Amino acid sequence: MKLLKITPRLLWGILLSMIASLLNLYLPLLVRHFINLKQFAWSGLSKKVLLLGGLILIGNLLVSSLSDYLISSEGDRQVRQLRLRLQKQVLRLPQKYFDQQISGNLTSRIINDVNVLRSFLTETIPAVVTGSLTILGTMLITFSLDWKLTLLMLLVFPIDGLVTVPLGKISEVIADQTQSSLAALTGVTSESIKQIKTVKLNKAEEDVFAKNAREINKLYRLSLKGDRIAAMIGPLQSMLSFCLIMAVVLYGTLRVKSGSLSTGTLGAFMMYFFQIIGPINNVALFYSDRKQMLGATRKISEIINETAEETAGKEQLAVAPGSSLLRLDQVSFAYQDLPVLEKVDLEARSGEKIALVGATGAGKTTLANVITRLYPVAAGRISLNGQASTDFSLEQWRGFFSVVLQENTIISGSIRDNLTLGLNRKVTDQELWDALALVRLEEYAKKLPKGLDSLLGESGKQLSGGQRQRMQIARACLRDFKFLLLDEATSNLDADTEKIIMTALDRLKRTKDCGQITIAHRLATIANSDRIYFIKNKTVVASGSHEELLEKVPDYRRYVHEQQLKEKR
């Protein structure tokens, strides 16, 4: 898979860079002519040499500037496209993928690994192409000037290779390990900052610091290894280059004294020698840079090649307005081969309030995730009005549900941003105020300096836990849906506020003629449900009204008794 491409814009940039290199190759010849002049006079050949040299320098500056801009801007453009592609792919990956990942690692791949690709495209490739041209041109010119000095200068290649090739292979391994370590450090750092409140309340600062310190120290040790390699390569190359320069100078001086070599030619040779040192190093480092690029490409390709959810693409199926029936028939689900749900049967109708209850770990939240197709069922069938869920696109299917989760889903941004998240229609301010009034947040929002446009901070840190849950309920109520799914949505509310909001939701249910599916532990929340599904041992063991289950199901009676004891504490 080609993540980065050699485009016409990049080729033009490299071509201009090659022209600049060719201009540089001509400068030592001008210097040679100038040195070999028997006398200087501001006329004749000396004037032409100086003027031509000045024009070459100015031309080189203009061509190099344009080349650098074309190459770097094309790199930025391709990196932008790649990051957009990665972001889009990440958002389309299934939930099970994120269950196995650390968000900081993904962030590092999108940012740091893509930068490695940009560096290879905009720095390594142009440097190798122009460097190769410079080396080839230099060899041709110097051979034409003096083949003996050229052969002496060519000793730089095998000597430089003896140093850079073995050390470069070690650098390649270290670079790959460094990228992985940097991704891990990004992950743990992001996680510790995100969970800082939990860290502080559990007095876990030292534990978290130790975890971060391990990754920092690992990255430090890798950096030291890289520093040792760099510390050896640089001085060794400098020493060898100095020795070769001395050899060229001494041999050239002897040739000048003997009259077999002009002073200008020796000066030109020295300029050419210094001119090819950089390109030689760039070509020598190409192997390790390419390996580092391939390592980054492999990690990015793994993300891109992950099977994404097909959120759209299927034709929208017609759904009759009015009453709807959601059915689960013998639905089973396993997470990493571990059974979580087994042969679940369930029904939910418009205008009806059902509840899913059971002990912690019984599978209630997983059932909600299966209903909304966050997870695919292993067996069985989910349908709406007899139409299989898989016949609908994910986008259309999830549009049938408005979901309020127990966990915090407030995004950084304003009240307006949070209420309109994902809405594909324009919403008036009055609708937003009505939604806030429904959850008793209207007065709070009106007291804020910017009202609906007031910022809530990262993850809604400006709100209390109860306010965050109410904000999520207000968001859910603004959507067009057939079923309202509440997963412990009122767990952070006091009893009086919960009663008011549940009454409002009942009114909303009648107004929109929608069904309501509630997952909760509080008996006050579930007791007035039209039907309760009692989940135990990964399946629905009984269903009916609260009174019917109390009378007929001992396990449910025991569950209710335990909840009553908890609520009295």
Catalytically active residues are: 488
Token pair listed for 247 = 């050899």
Torsion of CA 234, 237, 239, 244, to 10 degrees: -160
7 CB neighbour count, 10 Å cutoff: 13
Residues composing the chain: 569
Q: Rounded distance, CA 99 to CA 103, Å?
A: 10
Q: Are 379 and 332 in contact (CB under 8 A)?
A: yes
Nearest Cα neighbor of 467 from 488, 449, 447, 442 is 442
The overall longest dimension of the chain from CA atoms, in Å, is: 119
Where on the phi/psi map is residue 529: left (φ > 0), alpha (ψ -120 to 50), or beta? beta
At 339, the amino acid letter reads P
* Interaxial angle between packed helices 263-304 and 8-36, expressed in degrees from 0 to 180 and rounded to the nearest 10: 170
Q: Percent helix, strand, coil in the chain (nearest 5)?
A: 65, 10, 25
Identify residue 221 by its one-letter amino acid code.
R
Q: Which of 176, 177, 183, 174 is nearest to 112 (CA)?
A: 183
What is d(CA 445, CA 447) in angstroms, rounded to the nearest whole number? 5
Candidates 404, 472, 405, 465; CA nearest to 436 is 472
Q: What is the number of alpha carbons within 13 Å of residue 404 lying toward its C-beta?
A: 30
CA distance linking residue 383 with residue 381, whole number of Å: 6
The token pair at 13 is 């940039």
